[in-house]
């Protein structure tokens, strides 16, 4: 498809597709904090706890890039 291999398409989808989904999830967390009137500490806790899984995914990508895997 468009001269790309299946591996290149999967890498593109994983990087940009999942990245855009993560940005959308951050928007949802922000909206949740705003709607619940969580305040500064509550908003920080929401972002920290709900974004912790995304941080692990990003760290995995950075570590793989640094190690050239």
Answer yes or no: is pLDDT of 41 > 90: yes
Q: Residue with structure tokens 């305040």?
A: 39
Give the integer Cα–Cα distance in Å for 33 and 40: 9
pLDDT band at 66 (very low <50, low <70, confident <90, very high): very high
Helix 39-50 to helix 52-66 angle (10° resolution) is: 50
**Residue ranges covered by each domain of the chain:** 7-66
Please, how many CA atoms are within 13 Å of residue 55, restricted to the half-sphere of its CB? Answer: 6
Answer yes or no: is pLDDT of 1 > 80: no
**Per-residue pLDDT tens digits for 13-36:** 888 888 899 899 999 999 999 999
φ, ψ for residue 67 (rounded to 5)?
Answer: -90, 0
């Amino acid at each position: 498809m468009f001269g790309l291999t299946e591996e290149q398409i999967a890498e593109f989808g994983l990087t940009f597709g999942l990245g855009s989904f993560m940005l959308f999830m951050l928007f949802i967390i922000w909206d949740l904090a705003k709607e619940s009137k969580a305040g500064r500490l509550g908003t920080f806790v929401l972002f920290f706890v709900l974004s912790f899984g995304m941080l692990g995914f990003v760290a995995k990508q950075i570590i793989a890039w640094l190690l050239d895997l």
